Amino acid sequence: MTDPTEPSATPAFLNHDRPPVPHLTVPRGVQPFHLERKPVRGRLVRLGPLADALLTRHENPEPVTALLGQALALTAGLAAALKFQGSFSLQAKGDGPISMLLADCTDSGALRGYARAEAVPEGAADAAALLGKGYLAFTCDQGPEMERYQGIVAIDGASLAEMTGHYFDTSEQLASRVWLFAARMAAGWRASALILERVAGAGGIGPELDEAAQQDAWETALVLAGTITEAEMLDDTLLPERLLHRLFHAEGLALDRPRALSYGCRCSRSRLASVLAGFGTDDLDHMAEDGVITMTCEFCNVGFRFQRDEVQAASGRG
């Protein structure tokens, strides 16, 4: 089997082989649920070993890796609530040590992300210190034939969960609350998210509740969810349904169909070749070292090698 990262006889624009990255799927990465006869629905996200596979592609300081893990879990959970074909992404861009934080998830559950970080000062552990001032954007991209939806809000809050809450508060969406966790455990990095949303009435299930009863049910769900601990959320041995049962068994918990998540970097030799084709001769010459141009995917950190003379011929410049 040939290595798609190395120059080969196959023209670069035809080579769609996947680079040597993990083929990993978590069958029950997202567990949707609702509370019967109450205006509450939610999703529990457990990345399991997928978190370690995604987060260890780059050597970042622990606070940076933890924040990226939270972003990945959050993105997977938000994407699971949408009906779309394409990708849903979270992007945070600020003037702090992390100049760019990006996570995206496709409609099939393929997940990827990266953080571009400079020197991280000692003690800069929360999201506010790492990101600084800037913006948080949520984007649903369904391809060139469909209009792209994007919501943008200024970064506001100490944690990514608080920043997301600020986005929900300033948008026209229903009341929502998120809890995010990511840490290095004995088996490697783990990341998880719990997302609650208040829906209209009883969500179409059972008799409608009056406003006071709806508000009481929502506040009760928030209090119960707030008892969750990091240890519980990141424990591989604690099954999602068992964890949710601990929280909401007295509130009419009903589990919906789970969703799989997978290692989802979508880079290929053909994609990077099309990027190189947009550069001029001088730029290509500057990129080349000993006649070879190496393009590294920001997500999976895999380097693809291209012969300089082949790129020149493909680009039509010389």
Domain boundaries, the chain: 12-17+267-315, 25-263
| Residue 31 phi, psi dihedral angles, 5° rounding | -110, 100
Q: Which two tokens stand for residue 40?
A: 């509450």
Q: Which two tokens stand for residue 219?
A: 């506040």
Residue with the larger pLDDT of the pair 254 and 272: 254
Residue 202: what residue type? A
Distances (CA, A) of 82 to 22, 86, 109: 26, 11, 12
Q: What fold, for 25-263?
A: Hsp33 domain (3.55.30)
Q: What is the rounded distance in angstroms from the CA atom of residue 204 to the CA atom of residue 195?
A: 20
Question: CATH number of the domain at 12-17+267-315, out of 3.30.565.10, 3.90.1280.10, 3.40.50.10490, 3.40.630.10?
Answer: 3.90.1280.10
Q: So what's the pLDDT on residue 48? A: 97
Q: Which two tokens stand for residue 71?
A: 């972003």
Q: So what's the pLDDT on residue 142? A: 79
pLDDT at residue 163 is higher than 80: yes
Residue with tokens 């999976």: 300
Rounded (5°) CA angle 215-218-223: 125
Q: Which two tokens stand for residue 220?
A: 């009760």
Give kind and range of the element (H or E) at residue 265. Answer: none
Lowest-pLDDT range of 27-36, 77-86, 215-224, 248-257? 77-86
Lowest-pLDDT range of 6-15, 177-186, 206-215? 6-15
pLDDT in tens, 207-237: 567 889 999 999 999 999 999 999 999 999 9
Q: So what's the pLDDT on residue 4? A: 60
Task: pLDDT band for 317, please (50, 70, 90 cuts).
Answer: very low
pLDDT at residue 318 is higher than 60: no
Q: Which two tokens stand for residue 156?
A: 């506001």
Q: So what's the pLDDT on residue 204? A: 44
Q: So what's the pLDDT on residue 42? A: 97
pLDDT at residue 315 is higher than 50: no
Mean pLDDT calculated for residue range 117-132:
86
pLDDT in tens, 41-80: 999 999 999 999 999 999 999 999 999 999 999 999 999 9
Mean pLDDT of the chain: 87
**Strand, coil or helix: what is 237?**
coil
Lowest-pLDDT range of 27-41, 60-74, 78-92, 201-215? 201-215
Q: So what's the pLDDT on residue 209? A: 75
Q: What is the rounded distance in angstroms from the CA atom of residue 254 to the CA atom of residue 244?
A: 10
Tell me the CB-side half-sphere exposure of residue 29, using CA atoms within 13 A. Answer: 30
pLDDT at residue 267 is higher than 80: no
Residue with tokens 């000993």: 290
How many C-beta neighbours within 10 Å does residue 141 have? 17
Among 80-89, 170-179, 247-256, 268-277, the range with the most confident prediction by mean pLDDT is 247-256
